[in-house]
Amino acid sequence: MMKHHLFWPLSMLGALLLFNLIYSPDFFTVNMRDGHLYGSLIDILNFGSPLILIALGMTLVIATGGIDLSVGSVVAIAGAISCLIVSKGSDQNELALVLTAVAVSVLLSLFAGVWNGFLVAGAGIQPIVATLILMVAGRGVAQLITDGQIITVSSTPYKYIGAGSLFTLPFCIFIVAAIFILAYLLTRKTALGLFIEAVGCKPTASRLAGVRSSLVILAVYMFCGLCAGIAGLILCSNVSSADGNNAGLWYELDAILAVVIGGTSLNGGRFYLGGTLVGALIIQTLTTTIYMIGVPPETTLVVKAFVVTAVCLIQSESFRQAVRLRRSKRQWIKGKELNPHA
Amino acid sequence: MLKRQYIPIAVTALLFIAMFGVGSFRYTGFFSLQVIFNLLIDNAFLLVAAVGMTFVIVSGGIDLSVGSMVALTTMISASLLKLGWPPYLVIPLVLAVGACFGSMMGAIIHYFRIQPFIVTLAGMFMARGLCYVIDINTITIDNVFYKNMAQTKIALPGGSFISVSVLIALAVVGAGYYLAHYTRTGRNIYALGGSEQSAHLMGLPIGRTKILVYAISGICSSLAGVVFTFYMLSGYGLHALGMELDVIAAVVIGGTLLTGGVGYIIGSFFGVMIQGVIQTIISFEGTLSSWWTKIVIGLLLFLFILLQRLLSERRWAQQKG
């Protein structure tokens, strides 16, 4: 059982939840108020949904041996353009207007993915460098769209994306669930997942074996851009405003962290969507816990640093070997002491 | 005839001159010695950090903790000065902190074979977090030594002046240049970036070199932090946010290959200066806003990476043919 890839992430999440239960017993209570469910657990799902989305896209990118640093900027761009379109409308509550805004920002984020994918697969630039370009320029573009201001909108349909509720649950949870299921079915019930892992293992070999690796890479970056764009919509709709400078800041790092905690190797070649989901929930629960126990929220970063280091060390073959070596040496010495003439 | 390997650096230098020329034609008062010196004064900290980053990238790694290290240095300096520590203790201490921090990251990268990207990412979280653990507010510095450092103007002929930070930055560039091109350590770093396996087979001290490279970067970023403290006269956890990207961009624009093995300290110097010129042009323009800086830098990054890609591809084809 310990060999299962979800064992460590799930036990980490379990330990965090257990700690919360002991620390504040009403952590698990969920209240019904005005037809909506309220509670810490719902909050974790609600505020964690942008991170889960971005991390899902990032998982597939990392599975191909790449990385996408530009997701934070894509979040900012998608949020900025949707808020701009909504704020320009004569009647902000018009449904068609909001749908246009959503469509435009989704298209724009897909285009960002095409751009990244083209640089990686077409021009053959290292992923970390290729996406660095959009990471630097993207925030500039977002600020260009908002003209350096924070755009505020007052549109009920737009607000619904991030703060509305459906069947007593936050609406964004359903968006995340739909995309998760879609990604899961596409990668695990079709050959697509196998192609992605093949490209991550060895692009040349997979191309020789008949996989159109550049198409796979392009698709993966497009999916990542799409996820980031939708996350941007959720984030900006939740606060009904777009801030080109700060929307989605540091999200790329949290997303990579979630993917790594979930057991996906940064070297590419295999991926676990379920693991990423748990990883993102761990990060969100960690943040909530830190807020709740009254530790200054600023220390979140230090805690996260320790978590990253610990997770990477556990994943590192050399580290495990070093630990194993020491243990076996100790056992050898113990054996000598017990039986000196053996 | 120019050697192929010097093309990127020549392009960078020409681009700097061209941009400066455009600025001089467009705006009155742009073409003066003081504008060049102001570029140095305003970007001294970036220059110091870029030297360290060049070594890391040449060795085939990357250091994302630079900006947070600068912030942490300003924070430690400001809080210790507030407690009444003298500057001659504070400055060596923060440099030592930088060196320890860097060599620790280097050791983890080397011994546990974790990607530099992820280790320095953790370092970035760590340093930024430690800033906030010290204090979440700005700490102002009213130490006499620091104020003197901030205000001293070294007069040069022609009525222009530079600051002490510029001297520090130029000294670091000089030392970096010497280390990179005239010492055994420098050659080890280039060899490591060219091919770690070959370097290992040649019997070069891989582990020592790798740890040293990150230690250099740590020292450089904390020295950049000291220079930044002279400039800002305060410590704050949000200082130098996103600076690692500016530094990486400067190094790449300066012709250093992100795959390692090829790089120029002087190139990074021009890379920083180009960023400075873009900012100066934007401030002279007045109507253009600061986000254009990011977009232009992104575009430049794109062009230079493409250029490197083309050059290296042609070199590869030549070897093959």
What ipTM, to 2 d.p.? 0.73
> Quick one: average pLDDT of B273-287?
81
Non-local CB neighbours of A291 within 8 Å, separated by 6+ positions: A297
Dihedral sign computed on CA atoms, order B51, B55, B60, B63: negative
pLDDT of residue B171: 94
Closest residue, chain B, to A267 (C-alpha): B115
- Closest to A139 in 3D by CA, of A256, A53, A249: A249
Which range is most confident: A278-282, B99-103, B228-232? Answer: B99-103
Angle at CA of residue A251, ends A306 and A22, nearest 5°: 50
CB contact under 8 A, A137 and B62: no
Q: How many CB atoms lie within 10 A of CB A99?
A: 12
pLDDT of residue B173: 94
pTM: 0.81
Chain A residues touching B117 at Cβ < 8 A: 67, 128, 266
The CA distances from residue A157 to A13, A91, A151, A205, in Å, are 34, 11, 17, 49
pLDDT of residue B288: 66
pLDDT of residue B321: 37
Q: B295: pLDDT confidence band, cut at 50, 70 and 90?
A: confident
Dihedral sign computed on CA atoms, order B299, B303, B308, B313: positive
Candidates A123, A299, A319; nearest CB to B306: A123
Candidates A135, A140, A302; nearest CB to B126: A302
Dihedral sign computed on CA atoms, order B20, B22, B25, B26: negative
Candidates B129, B259, B290; nearest CB to A301: B129
User: What are the DSSP calls for B141-164, one per residue?
Assistant: ---HHHHHHHH--EEETTTEEE-H
Closest residue, chain B, to A115 (C-alpha): B302
Chain A residues touching B111 at Cβ < 8 A: 318, 322
Cβ–Cβ under 8 Å, residues B294 and A148 = no
The predicted-structure confidence for A212-226, as pLDDT tens digits, reads as follows: 778 888 889 999 999
CB contact under 8 A, A133 and B298: yes
Q: A297: pLDDT confidence band, cut at 50, 70 and 90?
A: low
Q: Which of B291, B303, B308, B316 to mutate to test the interface with A (most CBs of A within 10 A)?
A: B291
For B3, the 3-state DSSP assignment is coil
> B206-232 and B66-82 are packed helices; what angle lies between their axes, rounded to 10 degrees?
50
The predicted-structure confidence for A252-264, as pLDDT tens digits, reads as follows: 778 888 888 887 7
- Average pLDDT over chain A, rounded to an integer: 79
Report the distance separating Cα A172 and Cα A158, nearest Å: 12
For residue A224, the one-letter residue type is: C
Instruction: Work out the percent of chain A whose per-residue pLDDT is above 90.
Output: 6
Chain B residues touching A316 at Cβ < 8 A: 112-114
> Quick one: average pLDDT of B250-261?
83
Lowest-pLDDT choice from A65-74, A158-167, B250-259: A158-167
pLDDT of residue B320: 41
CB-neighbour burial class of residue A47 (10 A; exposed 0-12, middle 13-18, buried 19+):
middle
Q: A332: pLDDT confidence band, cut at 50, 70 and 90?
A: low
